[in-house]
Amino acid sequence: MDDRAKRDIETAQGAREEHRVVDPAIGNPPTREEEASVIKKLDWRLMPMIFTIYSLSVLDRSNLGNAHVAGLDESIGLSGDQYSTLGTLFYVTYIIFQSAAAGWKQFPAHAWVAFIVFSFATISSSQAAAQNYASMVVLRLLLGATEAMYAGVPVYLSFFYPRDKVGFRQGIFLSGSALANAYGGALGYAITQIKSHIEPWRILFLIEGLPTFIMAFVAWFYFPDDIETAKFLTRREKEVVKHMVSRDQTADIVNHAGLRIRDFLAAFKDWRSYLTGVMYFGCNVSFASLPLFVPAIIADIGSFTRIQANGLAAPPYVLTFILIIVCCFASDRLRMRGPFVCFFSVVAAIGFLLLATTETAAPRYLGVYFAITIFVSVAILIPWVSNTHSTESKRTGGFAIFATFGQAGPLVGTNIFPSNEAPYYRKGSWVSFSFCLLVAVTSALFSFVLHRENSKLDRAQLDEGAEGMCPRKFRYVI
């Protein structure tokens, strides 16, 4: 498209901004100052709780890796590939219950969250009482089912934030996983130093599981169900939110309309839903194994004890946490997703390449730092899904497909680092390397295709001309 055509489109868009029709259902359009004020208010109300609960849920699922190096296997008699199987079983029910993301749209959010958090807090803490492999199998299956229900938070956030700002908030939500793995390693190290007649791994499950109960009760009173029931917003602020979330997309802005089945099912007919799912699958093959096996990989480097390995697993996650926050913010500002996904997939591939081809401590520990950055790609992928579907119910369906495909990745990832391949775990590193490259290529291709579709939409809009003052059409974020 030449410069003149671009200027014509910008002029048409500017004219429409100046002649926007006031929707009596949501009042006058907001000023930039009003939008900034309301966004800040939403951030302080929603994000701390969402971040904290997700951080605790990830801690509850990933502390199996810390328990592994703290004596779990010997205590309950795990042998062969039983430890890897425990990691896999969590994701079996996690995948099956991914469609529960629709619960965020169908049920009152405050009740939905309280039920979920209370459930996985109970199950996680109960792991401390496990006496054998069979009891751990049951608990890991139940934990996967309940935590899958909370994974629909990105859908919930899209009900309150405009599409050009939701990515940063979804990134903050997801960064709770990186931070949980960071302090989980440090906490695991500290707990194993406790002198008690209770085995360290049991203390670990109790200390990391019991605080989650508090969040269940707080969530009941804290989470708004939708814009209308957000008591912390004034009437005018609710109007501002409605204007923001309905910009360039379709939103249920008058009241909580529940799940629109037609739009929900439309996501299953959209090829874009599946391509993002493929990328998420590739990321999770590489990432899902890391919380379970990074402590073991570090311990098997040879320069560190198994207890020190828990502590040394924390710094790479801290770096990833910072990168997620920075990159999600930049991704929103630039309105780009694909280049970030592609870049960090390549960085992670380099990390797994180092783990696959080196044997000395320094390059292998550096490889861990690089490999964990695949989680930055995951953090950018989630808002990319939100930006790919124009209505709330279709986004809910798209996210269910995305999550179901993606969470199948850990079924592979949790089984590619068998203990008999210690200390270098060549197979797991090469498999993860390959899937990182798959994500890089697929994300670049997806960006190119979406760019072409946007160009077609731009040409169609230009043909309509500025005089029609037609509403701004939906655009894909590349």
Tens of pLDDT, residue by residue over 51-96, are 999 998 888 887 887 788 788 889 999 888 888 888 888 888 988 8
Three-state secondary-structure class, residue 462: helix
Task: Report pLDDT for 129.
Answer: 93
Domain assignment present for residue 8? The answer is no
Asked if residue 478 has pLDDT above 90, the reply is: no
Asked if residue 1 has pLDDT above 60, the reply is: no
Closest CA to 94 of 156, 146, 154, 153: 146
Predicted TM-score (pTM) of this structure: 0.75
CATH number of the domain bearing residue 378: 1.20.1250.20
Residues of the chain with pLDDT > 90: what percent?
33
The domain in which residue 426 lies consists of 31-247+259-464
Domain assignment present for residue 295? The answer is yes
pLDDT tens by residue, 287-310: 776 766 777 777 777 666 666 776
Identify which has the larger pLDDT, 196 or 113: 113
Asked if residue 49 has pLDDT above 80, the reply is: yes
Question: What is the number of domains present in the chain?
Answer: 1
Domain assignment present for residue 139? The answer is yes
Torsional sign, CA 62, 63, 64, 66: positive
Domain assignment present for residue 112? The answer is yes
Asked if residue 232 has pLDDT above 90, the reply is: yes
- Which range has the worst mean pLDDT, 317-326, 327-336, 341-350, 468-477? 468-477
Domain assignment present for residue 6? The answer is no
pLDDT tens by residue, 190-231: 777 777 788 988 998 988 888 889 999 999 998 999 888 899
Distance, in Å, from the CA atom of 319 to the CA atom of 369, rounded to the nearest integer, reads: 8
Domain assignment present for residue 113? The answer is yes
Contact criterion met (CB below 8 Å) for 457 and 473: yes
Distance, in Å, from the CA atom of 35 to the CA atom of 259, rounded to the nearest integer, reads: 27
DSSP letter (8 states) at residue 378: H
Task: Report pLDDT for 394.
Answer: 82
Closest CA to 123 of 139, 137, 112: 139
The confidence band for 13, taking pLDDT boundaries of 50, 70 and 90, is very low
Domain assignment present for residue 353? The answer is yes
